[in-house]
Chain A
Amino acid sequence: MSEAPLIEYRGVARQFTSRRGTVMACEGVDLTVHRGEFLAIVGPSGCGKSTLLNMAAGLLKPSTGRVFYHGAPVPEPNTLVGYMTQRDTLLPWRTVEDNVAIALELRGQRKTERHRHAHDWIKRVGLSGFETAYPAQLSGGMRRRVSMARTLAYEPETILMDEPFGALDAQLRLVMHDELLKLWAATGTTMVFVTHDLTEAITLADRVAVFSARPGRIRAIETVDLPRPRDVFRIRFDPRFGELHDRLWRYLEESVRGDIMVG
């Protein structure tokens, strides 16, 4: 992992105004994402984690402060990032292969070529045989795999993931973690992974940033010094994992408790 900064948030705050008033999503955020690292952002729901991703993608501007990508202001939209959201964003009228190949299609790649590439990725996420199925014919876990294949297949420089496995059951999530880490190790992409699950964050990431409840502020950033490749099924039982989890949980707990008292 090199230390070159790829995404930089400097004094970033973002507020949303609606009829019910103004809400501060996040405030005073200074954060640097290094090239090639896997950064996890953990925090209670509604703490503006998704807002940070949207700003890195150039879909949203900060109210104050600035966000840089490669040292320059984030372009709108930032086509160097791939985005995998919590919600399903597969195109329902396209088959699995045409969904996975869509980014290549937009770049004008020939059909036989992009299908070959797509089939390779469909195989890597374990969905061989479902190339011509429509998303509605797949289970939730399978659709997540297709989303993952689609995001990884065109090799964006950075991948933003917003609670991508939030809707899956615990066992299936572990399987997906395993697959994600293997695929990521092979590509060397920069990852920014948002979750409210501390265990998920430590299992996957090189560094974990803990956010407070709204308005989201960074409470702590810790490096996860667990060796790779990691066994996602067993790493939770590593004593170093437990230590880190305890330390970070204290920050998270304060926010969660505060949240309960406010709510």
Chain B
Amino acid sequence: MAQVDTIPLEVADAPVTVDLLAASARNERLIVMAWRAGITVAGLALWEYASGRWVKPFWISSPSAIYAQLADWVVTGELWLHVQITLTETLLGFVLGAVTGIGVGLALGLNKRLAAVLDPFIIAFNSLPKIALAPLFILWFGVGLLSKVVLATFVVFFLVFYNTYSGTLAVDQELVDVLRLMGGSRLQIIRKVILPSVLLWIFTGMKISVPYALIGAVVGEMMASNKGLGYLIQAAAGQYDTNGVFAALFVLMIIATGLHTALKLSERLMLRWKEDGS
């Protein structure tokens, strides 16, 4: 945090210090990167060496075989097909779940009586392991895209809803009072105090729900489907094709990391006031 009151005394030697600090931070980053690269290379090399020598490739496959499998899927266009399906389910589920979660969370947060009435139902539904609903949704909505989207939506909804609702309860009453005394209307207070302070909670809920959206989609695919990465894993395992299982898992990992990074970037853009202070 900038202690601006004392700056004039320190201004003289600030640039040098800042330069040194930046340089050492850059160095530190390089060292960390180098270690990461080293661990990756060493791990892959060990895996490749062990496969066929210490452990049968049937159990652990090998990086080169996984690479070959991925290359094959890319050439045949199969990979893109499955990725597209899983991504569509995940994103649709995420967006629908987030929108409804934010909406209902705010509605209950701003309407105390409604929240009190619905409280036991919410707790009951929330404590249910959402994945257990997959068979029911497949029964209702078929083996296609829809049942997976519904499952992902359901999972995301509860996470985002719960965070949004908690956020409305955590709004600083003193901030609200200050605006009331200034003559702010209910609507103005919602727009200028409640929504901005809940935004942080909404983002947290959205961030933690991204991997769950993916889980919802993939679990749905594994239970009943003929497309998507979940199906790919299930089908490969059914044929004792370890290369296929690992290759599909690798793709899932890339997708999950990509989604997480995208959300983190958008959060940084929207919550600039917070970033600056720390």
**A binding-site residues for B, Cβ under 8 Å:** 57, 59, 77-79, 81-83, 85, 87, 89, 91-95, 102-103, 105-107, 130, 134-139, 141-142, 154, 156
Contact = CB atoms under 8 A, between A and B. Distances in A.
B181 A137 contact: no
Interface in B1-47: 1-5
Interface stretch (B101-109, B133-141, B172-180): B172-180
Given A102-B179, A106-B183, A136 B174 contact: no
B183 A103 contact: yes
B182 A91 contact: no
A144 B178 CA distance: 15
A176 to B, nearest CB: 12
B129 interface: no
B3 to A, nearest CB: 5
B112 interface: no
Given A91-B175, A103-B183, 11 more contacts: A57-B177, A82-B181, A85-B178, A91-B192, A93-B196, A105-B192, A106-B182, A106-B184, A134-B273, A138-B2, A156-B181
B181 A81 contact: yes
Contacts, number: 82
Interface string B169-200: 00010110111111111001000110011010
Contact of A77 (B177, B196, B274): B177
Contact of A142 (B5, B197, B273, B276): B5
Contacts of B177: 57, 59, 77, 83
The binding surface of chain A is classed by DSSP as: loop
Contacts of A138: 2, 4
B38 to A, nearest CB: 38
Contact of A106 (B5, B174, B179): B179
B174 A85 contact: yes
Contacts of B183: 79, 103, 106-107
9 interchain residue pairs of minimum CB distance: A136-B277, A79-B183, A103-B182, A93-B273, A134-B273, A77-B180, A106-B184, A93-B196, A139-B5
Nearest to B176: A89
B273 A136 contact: yes
A135 B276 CA distance: 10
B127 interface: no
B223 to A, nearest CB: 43
B2 A137 contact: yes
Contacts of B197: 93
Given A91-B192, A91-B196, A136 B181 contact: no
A137 B276 contact: yes
B76 interface: no
